[in-house]
Amino acid sequence: MTTATRAARVQLRLNDDWFEICERARLTPGRGIAALLPDGRQAALFLDREGRAYAIDNRDPFTGAAVLSRGLLGSRGGRPFVASPLLKQRFDLETGRCLDDDEVAVTVHPVRIA
Amino acid sequence: MEFAPRLMPVQVDEGGGAALLRTITGMGLTVHTGTGTQEIVTGEDGAVSAMKLSDGSELATDLVVFSAGVRPRDQLARDHGLTVGERGGITVDEQCRTSDPDVYAIGECAQAVDGRVYGLVAPGYEMAQTAAAAMAADREARFTGADLSTKLKLLGVDVASFGDAHGTAEGCLNVVYSDSRSGTYKKLVMGAGGELLGGVLVGDAEAYGLLRPLTGTVPPLPPEQLVLPAGAGAPVALGPESLPASAVICSCHNVTKDAIQACATLPEVKKCTKAGTGCGSCVKVIGQLLPHSGDKGLCDCFGQTRQELYEIVRVLRITSFRALLDGHGREAARGGEGCEVCKPAVGSIIASLAPTIGAEGHVLDGEQAALQDTNDHFLANLQKNGSYSVVPRIPGGEITPEKLIVIGEVARDFGLYTKITGGQRIDLFGARVEQLPMIWTRLVDAGFESGHAYGKALRTVKSCVGQTWCRYGVQDSVRMAIDLELRYRGLRAPHKLKSAVSGCARECAEAQSKDFGVIATASGWNLYVGGNGGATPRHADLLAQDLDDAELVRLIDRFLMFYIRTADRLERTAAWLERIDGGLDHVRDVVVHDSLGICAELEALMADHVTHYRDEWAATLDDPERSRASCPS
């Protein structure tokens, strides 16, 4: 799988496989990037200040725009969230649940740095 | 001259009238009560020489001022045969219908069923509601008379009366405090069951705001303690918290205490309930009823206000969000990520102070990139479908044909929708993230720079065409607008800043609706501040007059830096000016008269900003790291 000399990469779990997104160095702590998945969907990847990675669906369910990767990362009570850049609803990065509307959630993707 | 036996006979009783008379006589006035004017005598030249009074005496005078009070203006009704009262006023029934059931009359032209003509705003509103309900076939609505509670000043003397001020209820008792040395008279009318029925206050009507809402209830304190002056045996001051939830606080709009407490701020109270927007006498009590939140913190991460964080960053020269959060954040938030509220706010504070505290000067450098809202992060404005709009700076709205052609070509080549903005520039919509650097390259090569349409920063300085072309112009407004826009471009602030310069008093640039607006005069410039358009428009206030160019720029430098230093997050200058203690007068003291001795520092901060300004688009294109931070693929 990985070699010792290779730079750390961010991988996302898709259909029982780890799908490689990019080098970890491409991610800025506290911000996200968007990744195009093989099935045409988009994922939003984030790195927190401790270097932990998170991935959720990039589509903002409130507006339908693929923008969650451009939101601001925050934490509340030790739990990380992203605030949509459009109308500012917050999504828990570990559960995908919207913190401002109980009935809304986004898909969470398992992610690892390898 | 007062025809009635005492002054203000409707509002006050005999004791109150006596206190009022004594105070006014003490001011050097002679008052005749219980006296009418029989005749005004003129001299040979036709000028007034004397008044003949009803008691037979004559008073020498050379000026007569009439105060006629409210007289119903009912001519329209008379002309059309509607019934009017004996002393005027269109007669209406309990539904506010006139003698013609299809015609309604309300307010001070109407005589209500109790035979009175109401000249106050609250009964007018109540009659309007009654008439509207009656028209909507609501048979329950009735107007049978109204509360005549008033608080006013007569020659500077407080006079208030409320409820059953004259004690007409059966079995009522009076509690009176009178001090003729200080001209104070207070009377409370108490019912047999100990309930407050009404009262009269002369000389000191401070308690009106609290006593009136208590009318009809048993007060929480013995009545004598309600009228005694503070310190004279009154052990506790009665606060508005002791009022019952149903107490009417705003009698103009009939708003209760619980309705007011459902709101968080005074502006919200005014907007949602209209309380405080009539006569305004209840505003102080409303302020006391609103939550005095002990926690004025910016967000869940910081217990400090934006202003306090600004001072911490400035004095301790903190250049990183993490250092600020871990060192000064709330205990539970330290070591965390911050949130979507404090990150951009701190990013803006660091950007405002960057040259002074030695922080990175570019909003996408280092950790700052992670603090910026998406608009600041991509140096463009996010639109609803996730695409961005791009606004190049067009200082003062002045542009050459060559540059116009470049904008047209860029829009055509990238398929962008173009729209002229209200700020005299051109917005290019529909750019995808990855197109932004290519669009900037074309624009920067043609001599454009970022217009900061995405930032909490100076947007635009709008101008009229000015003296060069306009036959009315008295100064070169375009040149001044360009100078100001170039001076303050890129300045990060608690919220966006808009400005305009008009070349004459006709004000074609609408400077009085801007955060800082300049209007030319024959001898210089007038500076207006705190204007706003949008949802809550506010006309700007005049800060200083007839300034020369250098004086104008120096004052704006100070004003903007004082605003940046003291405003809350996302607080425009209009709201800031309304909120800060002392309002416009305080701001004028600080920035014009240097009452705090900080003007030299404010000017130095602005000088730092001007020296270190660099176009963010060009700086991003020049640095691959920034480009990548801005536009990761």
For the cut 60, the answer to whether the pLDDT of residue B72 exceeds it is: yes
Strand partners, A62: none
Reported as a pLDDT band with limits 50, 70 and 90, residue B230 is low
Residue A77 lies in a domain: yes
Helix locations, B228-371, DSSP H: 257-261, 266-273, 283-289, 306-316, 321-328, 342-357
Place of tokens 């920035």: B591
Give tens-digit pLDDT for B25-69. Answer: 888 888 888 888 888 888 888 888 888 888 888 888 888 888 777
| Whole-number pLDDT of residue B233 | 52
Place of tokens 């990065």: A93
Please check whether residue B39 touches A, CB under 8 A. Answer: no
Ranked by mean pLDDT, the top range of B64-78, B298-312, B544-558, B615-629 is B544-558
| Whole-number pLDDT of residue B259 | 86
Residue A93 lies in a domain: yes
Higher pLDDT among residues B221 and A109, named by residue = A109
Pick the residue of B337, B368, B385 with the most A CBs within 10 A to test the interface with A by mutation. B337
Q: What's the start-to-end Cα distance of chain A, in Å?
A: 9
Q: Chain A residue with minimal CA distance to B344? A: A72
Nearest to B339 among A31, A66, A74 (CB): A74
Query: Among the listed ranges A72-86, B158-172, B460-474, B617-631, which one has the minimum average pLDDT value?
Result: B617-631
- DSSP state, residue B234: B
Reported as a pLDDT band with limits 50, 70 and 90, residue B442 is very high
- Cβ-defined contact of B340 to A71 (cutoff 8 Å): yes
| Whole-number pLDDT of residue B334 | 92
For the cut 60, the answer to whether the pLDDT of residue B200 exceeds it is: yes
In chain A, which residues touch B (CB < 8 A)? 26, 28-31, 33-34, 48-49, 63, 65-67, 70-78, 80, 83, 85-86, 88, 90
Please check whether residue B338 touches A, CB under 8 A. Answer: yes
Reported as a pLDDT band with limits 50, 70 and 90, residue B536 is confident
Reported as a pLDDT band with limits 50, 70 and 90, residue B235 is very low
Sign of CA dihedral B411, B412, B418, B423: positive
For the cut 80, the answer to whether the pLDDT of residue B627 exceeds it is: no
Alpha-carbon distance of B267 to A8, in angstroms, equals 53
- Cβ-defined contact of B629 to A74 (cutoff 8 Å): no
Alpha-carbon distance of B332 to B464, in angstroms, equals 53
Please, which residues have CB within 8 angstroms of residue B204's CB and are 6 or more apart in sequence?
B158, B182, B184, B186, B229
Alpha-carbon distance of B39 to B54, in angstroms, equals 9
Task: Please list every residue in chain A whose beta carbon sits closer than 8 Å to the beta carbon of residue B329.
Answer: none
Which helix H or strand E contains B16, and what residues bound it? helix B14-26
Please, which residues have CB within 8 angstroms of residue B64's CB and are 6 or more apart in sequence?
B40, B48, B51
Alpha-carbon distance of B81 to B244, in angstroms, equals 48
Residue A2 lies in a domain: no
For the cut 80, the answer to whether the pLDDT of residue B221 exceeds it is: no
For the cut 90, the answer to whether the pLDDT of residue A105 exceeds it is: yes
Q: What percent of chain A has pLDDT over 70?
A: 96
Residue A1 lies in a domain: no
Residue A109 lies in a domain: yes
Alpha-carbon distance of B88 to B116, in angstroms, equals 10
Task: Please list every residue in chain A whose beta carbon sits closer than 8 Å to the beta carbon of residue B436.
Answer: none
Nearest to B340 among A28, A72, A80 (CB): A72
Q: What's the domain count of chain A?
A: 1
- For β-strands B110-111 and B90-91, DSSP reports them as parallel
B317, amino acid identity: R
Query: Among the listed ranges B90-104, B275-289, B579-593, which one has the minimum average pLDDT value?
Result: B275-289
Listed by number, the residues of chain B in 293-322 with a beta carbon closer than 8 Å to a beta carbon of chain A are 300, 322
- A81/chain B closest Cα distance in angstroms: 8
| Whole-number pLDDT of residue B632 | 46
Q: Chain A residue with minimal CA distance to B301? A: A76
Pick the residue of B334, B340, B379 with the most A CBs within 10 A to test the interface with A by mutation. B340
Task: Please list every residue in chain A whose beta carbon sits closer than 8 Å to the beta carbon of residue B377.
Answer: 31, 70
| Residue range A33-49: mean pLDDT, rounded | 92
- Cβ-defined contact of A31 to B369 (cutoff 8 Å): yes
Give tens-digit pLDDT for B240-291. Answer: 777 777 777 887 777 888 888 888 777 778 778 888 777 666 777 787 787 7
Task: Please list every residue in chain A whose beta carbon sits closer than 8 Å to the beta carbon of residue B338.
Answer: 30, 74-75
- A39/chain B closest Cα distance in angstroms: 18
Per the structure, the complete domain to which residue A40 belongs is given by 9-113
| Residue range B523-551: mean pLDDT, rounded | 95
Alpha-carbon distance of B252 to A21, in angstroms, equals 65
Q: Which two tokens stand for residue B69?
A: 């009070």
- Cβ-defined contact of A63 to B343 (cutoff 8 Å): no
Sign of CA dihedral B247, B251, B254, B257: negative
- For β-strands B150-154 and B157-163, DSSP reports them as antiparallel
CB B546 within 8 A of CB B579: no
| Residue range B122-140: mean pLDDT, rounded | 87
- A30/chain B closest Cα distance in angstroms: 5
User: How many angstroms from the chain centroid is the CA of residue B500?
Assistant: 21
- Cβ-defined contact of B336 to A86 (cutoff 8 Å): no
Q: What is the CATH number of the domain that holds A42?
A: 2.102.10.10
Higher pLDDT among residues B371 and B148, named by residue = B371
CB A49 within 8 A of CB A58: no
Task: Please list every residue in chain B whose beta carbon sits closer than 8 Å to the beta carbon of residue A90.
Answer: 340
Reported as a pLDDT band with limits 50, 70 and 90, residue A89 is very high
Give tens-digit pLDDT for B346-371. Answer: 999 998 898 889 887 777 777 888 88
- DSSP state, residue B565: H
| Whole-number pLDDT of residue B414 | 97
- For β-strands B248-250 and B196-202, DSSP reports them as unpaired
| Whole-number pLDDT of residue B218 | 83
Pick the residue of A10, A21, A24, A28 with the most B CBs within 10 A to test the interface with B by mutation. A28
| Whole-number pLDDT of residue B629 | 53
- Cβ-defined contact of A67 to B629 (cutoff 8 Å): no
| Residue range A79-96: mean pLDDT, rounded | 94
Residue A76 lies in a domain: yes
| Whole-number pLDDT of residue B140 | 82
Give tens-digit pLDDT for B545-574. Answer: 999 999 999 999 999 999 999 999 999 999
Alpha-carbon distance of B330 to A64, in angstroms, equals 35
